[in-house]
Amino acid sequence: MRGWRGLGNTMRACWLVSKDGRHQPIHLAHLTCVFIGRSQETKITDKKCSRQQVQLKADYNKGYVLVKQLGINPSNVNSEDVGKDKEVKLKPGQILHIVNQLYPYTIQFAEESSEIKKLSPKRSYEEISSNSNSSTLNKYIKTEHSSPRDLERKKEKTKQRQTVTQVNSAEMSEKKDFQRMWNQGLKVTMQDPKFQIYKDDTVVVIKDKYPKARFHWLVLPLEPISSLKAVRENHLNLLQHMNKVGEKLVQECQDSKALKFRLGYHAIPSMSHLHLHVISQDFESPCLKTKKHWNSFNTDYFLESKDVLEMMEQDGKVTVKDGVSELLKITLTCHVCRQQLSTIPQLKEHLKKHFP
């Protein structure tokens, strides 16, 4: 039994410690997924924090915890966004903010004496302060045997954990169902006449349900094409038509003289069914909330329609560069003057100078 138990007469333990002392440390078992988010255990009530905001998996051999962001709003390790469905390593001394730079945590690895374990197999841990270190953690191991009342409490806690596990499993299933519904949402919306603002024999135009600017339309082909990856040489005429329809929308917009527009596609779209974005460059919208939203339209993650057409004419297909998803994480930068901003609220306030 070498490996995570280590050598000699000690075995390691890992704890997730709240730096603001909101609750007792949470034990992270070796290579076991633990979900942290809005719950009674963490005492986090912020609705921007998902009930399963992050997944943590401690690796006792390697001395770090893998952090995977599951929630929509950003989680951070040392002020860097983790990214939706991405994993990063959390090492001792680094700080994990559960959501929106809030609710700071650190991890602590500690050695547990096997001699103490033999003397007291039913030990428990008292509350540990946020600045505890590995040696401090060991001071809280109780060596006396548990009382009958303690045993009853532990049984009740075990039942509660089992209930939480069942609830978490149900929530995960619901989340997957929701993601599938969300992914297919465009196909439903584009077929609903009340959302259509233009339609011909080839394409349909709808308003984006969650616009990221004053004017934000989507041009979708009636032909079932999942994304740019599915586009082939024979689709060139279709893409050219989609571009012409997009340009016509801009020309007929009353504010087209005052505002600039861009036409393009996301390199890796979040929703199934090919769609061309036609979006004004003011980016004035309450639906623009995250760094991901901004960078998806203001980096090379946004493929200009004219560039896509040029690739199709030359190569008969559209090529997306490797690692393009990393562009969603870069620093917020104004698309007009290139000034860098720290947060979306700061960026929106800054944009008022360019778009009063």
pLDDT at 217: 96
Q: Please confirm, yes or no, whether 293 is among the known catalytic residues.
A: no
Q: How far apart are CA 272 and CA 266, in angstroms?
A: 12
Which CATH code fits 3-145?
2.60.200.20
pLDDT at 48: 92
CATH superfamily of 187-288+297-320: HIT-like (3.30.428.10)
Q: What CA–CA distances, in Å, run from 34 to 53, 54, 198, 216?
A: 11, 8, 48, 39
Among 27, 275, 277, 293, the active-site one is: 275
Q: Which residues pair with 190 in a beta bridge?
A: none
Burial of 171 (0-12, 13-18, 19+ CB in 10 A): middle
pLDDT at 18: 92
Q: Closest by alpha carbon to 30, among 6, 58, 10?
A: 58
Tokens of 40: 């009674």
Q: How far apart are CA 172 and CA 309, in angstroms?
A: 40
The residue whose two tokens read 């991901």 is: 292
pLDDT at 161: 73
Note down pLDDT in tens along the chain; length 356 residues. 444 444 344 457 899 999 988 888 999 999 999 999 999 999 999 999 999 999 999 999 999 999 999 999 999 999 899 999 999 999 999 999 999 999 999 999 886 544 334 433 334 443 444 444 444 455 444 444 456 677 777 777 777 777 666 666 655 555 454 444 444 667 788 888 888 999 999 999 999 989 999 999 999 999 999 899 999 999 999 999 999 999 999 999 988 788 999 999 999 998 888 999 999 999 999 999 999 999 999 999 999 999 999 999 999 999 998 899 999 999 999 999 999 999 999 999 999 999 98
Question: Domain boundaries in the chain?
Answer: 3-145, 147-183, 187-288+297-320
The residue whose two tokens read 């943590």 is: 56
Q: Closest by alpha carbon to 112, among 4, 30, 10, 9?
A: 10
pLDDT at 113: 45
Strands, sheet with 196-199, edge to edge from the N-terminal-most edge strand: 196-199, 203-207, 216-221, 276-280, 261-266, 302-304
Helices 236-252 & 305-315 angle (0-180, nearest 10): 160
